[in-house]
Amino acid sequence: MANPVSIINPSYCSPHPITLQINTEKGATYNENDDRLFYTDDTFFTLHNRRVLYDDAENPIVTLYNKMVSLHGRCKVFRGESTDSSELLFLVKKIAKSPGITKLNVFLANNQGKKNKKSDFRVIIFGSKRSCTVYAGESPNIVAKIQNNGGFNVVVDPNVDYAFIVVLLMIVNDMDCSDEPMNSMNNTASAMRMITSLSSLGSGE
């Protein structure tokens, strides 16, 4: 993007594209030189539904607070180790967009409480997290692309806060995203075609 998009810290905005590899089993993020940039205190949310992201110098970057609300996942992200509302950075809401596709809407702290608010970013997840794309708002402008190769291989656009992208992918990694709805629909369609064929054969006797 032309103008820097800083959500967590402007120091995480590079004038060049950034390639990252997230080891989802270890909860660690590495750059293309295999240097560790971030890590989490746990690879899953704790019993208190909290998780902290640290930089490699052990400084707390953000705290994630996860809350499941009926069928829709919701996660709040705060600066540092705080969960005080004054330190809220953004809120992520999960939406089942269509079979095989999951959407996350991201609302920045200054967008909270507004009427008819629109998302500041959105994440489109395909299938069982085999790939996903991060967009600016509801626009077609892509800010990051991700492929799942046993971990997340990430390409972040220039001037985009790559720590912010890492946090979004931590949330994606914890979500239940599956191809099953699409497979179920295909199975149902196949069954209907078979029933129709059998009915046609029966009527011709």
Cβ partners under 8 Å of residue 83, min gap 6:
50, 63, 65, 76
Helix (H, G, I), strand (E, B) or coil at 194: helix
Place of tokens 């489109």: 124
Residue 67: per-residue pLDDT: 64
The model carries a pTM of 0.81
Indicate if the pLDDT at residue 72 is higher than 60: no
Mean pLDDT (whole number) for 77-98: 90
The more confident residue out of 74 and 76 is 76
Q: Which pLDDT does position 43 carry in this prediction?
A: 55
N-terminal to C-terminal alpha carbon distance within the chain: 67
